[in-house]
Amino acid sequence: MTAAKRPWTPFLPWMMALGLSGCASWSFWRGAEQATAQRVAGLVDRGEQHWTMRACGQEHDRLLQPSAELERLFEEVGQPGQLSIFAELEVDEQDGRWVVTRTHRVESSGRGCLDTSAAASQWVGFSLADNWRVDISARGMQLTSGDAEDGRQLSMISERLPVGALGFRGVHDQGLELWLYPTGCIERSTGDYYHFNAVLVRDGQRLNGCGYQGGVPAQPPR
C-alpha cells in the first residue's frame, strides 16, 4: 500500500492546525509525564458537594477535581439523572486529591472494572457497530472480526506522526492497518467516549471506530 493511500490524508487540515498551535509537543508516553501522574480507572461519582472516584480494586473513595472536559463528557455520555459513571483518567495527586489532567474513557455501558480485555494490550481500536477490534501488543497486531479472519495475528511495524497519530501495519503489507488519531471519539452504538479515533484499513476498505490505550505501557513507535 503506497503512502498516498494512507488514511491520515483527510486529517491533514487538523494536523497542520495542531502543529501550528504548538501542540505537536504533546506526548502520550509515560516517560514524558510528570512523576506524580498516574492512570486510574474506576467509578466516578458526581456528588452535590464533591466529586469522588473509587478506583478499581479499591475499597475507599478519593476526592476528585474534574477537568472541564470530564464535566462535559459526564453530561454527554451519562443518562439523565445518572450520578456515577465508569471512567479511565490521567490524574496528578495534589493536596490529597486526584486532579484530572486527561480523560481516556467515559462509559455508561459495558462491564466497567470487570472488563479486562485490554489488560495485555498496548492499544485497542474497535467498532461495536461494525464488529471489529484490533489489539496492539508486544506480539504484534491481532484482529477480532467474527468472520473467516477472526484471530488473525501479524507481526507489525509502527510509526508515529509528529502530532501524535499512531499507525500499525503488517511487516509484509498484508492488507491490514490500524491508525489512531488523538481527537476523541464517541462510539456510535453506545454513546461512550474514547480518547482516540480509529481507522481500520482492511484490504483497502476503510472502517471507522474508536480507540484507547490498553493496560500495558506503550513504547513510542519508531
148, pLDDT greater than 90: no
Where do the DSSP E strands lie in the chain?
37-46, 51-55, 62-65, 84-94, 97-107, 123-127, 132-137, 140-144, 153-154, 156-160, 166-170, 176-181, 185-186, 193-194, 196-202, 205-213
10 belongs to a structural domain: no
167 belongs to a structural domain: yes
Select from 113, 141, 164 the last residue of a domain: 113
Same domain, 87 and 144: no
| 29 band by pLDDT with thresholds 50, 70 and 90 | very low
40, pLDDT greater than 70: yes
SS (H, E, C) 177-217: EEEEECCCEECCCCCCEECEEEEEEECCEEEEEEEEECCCC
| 220 band by pLDDT with thresholds 50, 70 and 90 | low
Pairing of strands 97-107, 62-65: parallel
Percent of the chain with pLDDT over 90: 68
Percent of the chain with pLDDT over 70: 82
Span 107-147, pLDDT tens digits: 999 899 999 999 999 999 999 999 999 999 999 999 999 88
**pTM exceeds 0.75 for this model:** yes
| 219 band by pLDDT with thresholds 50, 70 and 90 | low
Handedness of CA 30, 65, 120, 140 (dihedral sign): negative
35, pLDDT greater than 60: no
49 belongs to a structural domain: yes
Of 49-58, 110-119, 147-156, the one with minimum mean pLDDT is 147-156
Select from 63, 96, 113 the last residue of a domain: 113
The arithmetic mean of pLDDT across residues 47-71, rounded, is: 96
48 belongs to a structural domain: yes
Write out the three cell numbers for 179.
Answer: 491508525
Residue 147: which domain range? 116-213
What's the mean per-residue pLDDT of the chain? 84
The arithmetic mean of pLDDT across residues 2-26, rounded, is: 38
> Is there a contact between 180 and 165 (Cβ–Cβ < 8 Å)?
yes
Q: Which residues pair with 178 in a beta bridge?
A: 168, 200
Span 179-206, pLDDT tens digits: 999 999 999 999 999 999 999 999 889 9
Q: What is the spatial distance between Cα 159 and Cα 28, in angstroms, rounded to a whole number?
A: 13
> Is there a contact between 171 and 178 (Cβ–Cβ < 8 Å)?
no
Same domain, 57 and 142: no
Select from 88, 113, 138 the last residue of a domain: 113
Q: Which of helix, strand or coil describes residue 23?
A: helix
5 belongs to a structural domain: no
Q: Which are the contacts of 100, defined by CB distance < 8 A and separation ≥ 6?
A: 64, 65, 66, 67, 69, 70, 89, 90, 91
pLDDT, residue 110, reads: 86
Name the DSSP class of 162: T
CATH code where residue 101 lies = 2.40.50.140
99, pLDDT greater than 80: yes
59 belongs to a structural domain: yes
Same domain, 121 and 109: no
Q: Which of helix, strand or coil describes residue 12?
A: helix
pLDDT, residue 151, reads: 83
Most confidently predicted of 8-22, 34-48, 122-136: 122-136
Name the DSSP class of 176: E
pLDDT, residue 6, reads: 52
Give the DSSP letter string of 97-110. EEEEEEEEEEESSS
Same domain, 165 and 105: no
Q: What is the spatial distance between Cα 25 and Cα 6, in angstroms, rounded to a whole number?
A: 23
